[in-house]
Structure 1
Amino acid sequence: MITAALTPARERTEEESITAWALAARGGDPDAVDLFVRALHRDVRRYVTYLGADPHSADDLTQETFLRALGSLHRFEGGSSARTWLLSIARRAVIDSLRNRSCRPRLCDTDDWQSAAERAQPCDLPGFDDGIALTELLDTLPAERREAFVLTQLVGLPYAEAALVSDCPVGTVRSRVARARTTLVTWLTEAEHTTRMFGGET
């Protein structure tokens, strides 16, 4: 049963509610655990996917993130938002996964990858093709710029919190996002120009 302190007040922000659920979950409230996971599952899934996780392993990494987080809740004291804390755990899970994968051969099946990519698309994107295009564009960015862009523009973290997750100064995050935006705009402009050029041919 959720305690009265967990009932979101009108003036409570979403971040405050999520952090309150995490603190209550730390105390053993099963309803709070459920609310905490539901509130952040999509952000974690999106984050690990766009960090470059293998589409086949994104679900596993999301689950691993929450398993690590729930096992570490006793150490969470609310000094930062629960979202920032959780995404830091997700980042470490991705790094650990990439290190493990680098030690063994990687197999790729195009048909399976396409199916997994379709399932991985965020729900609020205009359509499958747009989602795949965004994924492909982000994959071409340097890893640090991609991470900064995903945290601030897709997950919606403030720059200061994105800096905490990435373990770098706020100014560095701003610079990475600005460079990522410039690159993406350039590529999109070139793609639109190519589309118009070939679209006009008969």
Structure 2
Amino acid sequence: MTTTVTETTFQELVQPLRRELVAHCYRMMGSLQDAEDLVQETYLRAWRSFDRFEARSSVRTWMYRIATNACLTALEGRSRRPLPTGLGAPPGNPNAELRTRDDVPWLEPLPDRVVWGEAPPDPGDVATSRDSVRLAFVAALQHLTAQQRAVLVLRDVLCWQASEVAATLGTTVASVNSALQRARAHLASLDADAVPTLPDDDPRLRTLLAEYVKAFEEYDVDRIVSLLAADVTWQMPPFEEWYRGAEDVGALIRRHCPAEAAGDQRFLATSANGAPVLALYMRDKVDGVHRAFQLQHLEVTPDGVAAVTVWFDKELFTRFGLPLELPVVDG
């Protein structure tokens, strides 16, 4: 009976933290699959030591400490998860052949449904705010050492005291402050030219997204180009090249997109990392069925679509709760 009560108590205390712990591990790892695995590991470690939990800190703080150290252990000896823009190469030639890098563990998107379910994020929840999981921020974190990453997330996202971070990481307050200073400086240099994106309730966002979808579905490349910011960036892991500028992106689409005419492409809308995602389905030339092709993550600013990150992994459609093919539309 005692064991049953303990298990029930444990679940009641820790289960409400699962979503934010997934977000925390995702920031550290850059992968939803890794994050979910490490949250599971966190719960196992917590359960094994639950009888020794002395309530000198909150359960939430205790769980974050376990999760952070689980991530740090998992990151030992692992390569970072970049996006193509993070490889250090200049923009590519849109008319050249595409080259894949299957040896790189690419950064993955975080479906909003995993963190917030069907409800929008709580503006007061700093642990899972949009800014704390936005794709550019998580990509920038990948440039930091694992220790710097942990310090910055615990201090600047979770707003922990330096002493709490030091206790979690088994280091000194001075070391924490030094690591934080270096991490902030590095992120500032990466994010120096960032332009604020349009909020969800801005009618300009809804209008532009509708026009963007229409332009793709009608395969009007000139119209697509007109909806892009002049200095837009476009990247498509696992392809190693990335592209800058609306005209180059237009050339890329004309050269490499398998669509040929209006109706070849259809979209479903979803979201990830607190931003719009458009799931693109390409029509099969043999049977006419639209099948999962790519996910486009968009950053939309007042100047247009400023950044597009594209993933071709069909498994991501399943993680987003999306079908792998669309029903045939009569007529």
Q: Same fold by TM (over 0.5)?
A: yes
Match of 1:59 among 18, 36, 42: 36
Q: Please show how residues 1-202 of structure 1 align to structure 2 within 5 Å.
A: 28=6, 30=8, 32-52=9-29, 54-98=31-75, 114=108, 116-119=109-112, 123=121, 124-125=129-130, 131-190=134-193, 198=231
TM-score under structure 2 length normalisation: 0.41
| CA positional deviation for 1:178 | 1.9
| CA positional deviation for 1:86 | 2.1
Aligned equivalents of 2:61, 2:11: Cα separation in 1? 18
| CA positional deviation for 1:152 | 1.3
Aligned equivalents of 1:109, 1:175: Cα separation in 2? 29
Could you list the structure 1 runs, at least 4 aligned residues long, displaced by more than 6 angstroms after superposition: 106-110, 199-202
| CA positional deviation for 1:37 | 1.5
Would you say the 8 A contact 1:84–1:164 is kept in 2? no
Aligned Cα RMSD in Å? 3.9
How many equivalent pairs are there? 167
* Higher mean C-alpha displacement, 160-169 vs 172-181: 172-181
Would you say the 8 A contact 1:121–1:132 is kept in 2? no
Which of the pair is proportionally richer in strand?
2
Q: Cα 1:141–1:177, aligned 2, differ >3 Å: closer, same or farther? A: same
| CA positional deviation for 1:91 | 3.1
Aligned equivalents of 1:174, 1:141: Cα separation in 2? 15
> Aligned partner of 1:28: which letter?
T
| CA positional deviation for 1:35 | 3.9
Q: Cα 1:184–1:109, aligned 2, differ >3 Å: closer, same or farther? A: closer
Aligned equivalents of 1:89, 1:201: Cα separation in 2? 45
TM-score under structure 1 length normalisation: 0.64
Higher RCO, Cα 8 Å, sep 6+: 1
| CA positional deviation for 1:108 | 7.0
Aligned equivalents of 2:18, 2:230: Cα separation in 1? 41
The secondary structure found in structure 2 opposite 1:198 is strand
Residue-by-residue CA offset, 1:70-90 (whole Å, 9 max, x unaligned): 221101112344333323322
Which of the pair is proportionally richer in helix?
1
> Aligned partner of 2:110: which letter?
A
Tell me which residue corresponds to 1:4: none
